[in-house]
Amino acid sequence: DAKTTQPNSMESNEEEPVHLPCNHSTISGTDYIHWYRQLPSQGPEYVIHGLTSNVNNRMASLAIAEDRKSSTLILHRATLRDAAVYYCILSLSNAGGTSYGKLTFGQGTILTVHP
């Protein structure tokens, strides 16, 4: 299974942008890149996912390198509620282009947001 590597922790100030990096050098052509975040004693929350092109939604942006070996989750203006553990995950896709199979989590990045 393709693995991801993330920094153990990052810090940011409120209202500032945050760039959370993820390396996935062994990614295969059909792997989707997913990002989730988790608060203590809660289930992970979906943030964003993509395949090749950069993606934007109301929560964040996902910038995917041209060779797909790395990606960056961008929180445009961090708030205190964004403090969480952020997981970058690769999801195996089947031939139909849907996202199935094992979803393997790494240790994630603990994001601290300072007021």
Partner 1 sequence: DGGITQSPKYLFRKEGQNVTLSCEQNLNHDAMYWYRQDPGQGLRLIYYSQIVNDFQKGDIAEGYSVSREKKESFPLTVTSAQKNPTAFYLCASIGFRASYGYTFGSGTRLTVV
Question: In this structure, are residues 60 and 111 in contact, taking their beta carbons and an 8 Å threshold?
Answer: no
When the beta carbons of 15 and 39 are compared against partner 1, the nearer one is: 39
Nearest Cα residue to 104 out of 94, 90, 115, 93: 90
Q: What mask of x and - would describe binding to partner 1 in positions 65 to 104, judged by CB under 8 A? A: ----------------------x---x------xxxxxxx
Q: How far is the CB of 67 from partner 1 (least distance, A)?
A: 23
When the beta carbons of 4 and 70 are compared against partner 1, the nearer one is: 4
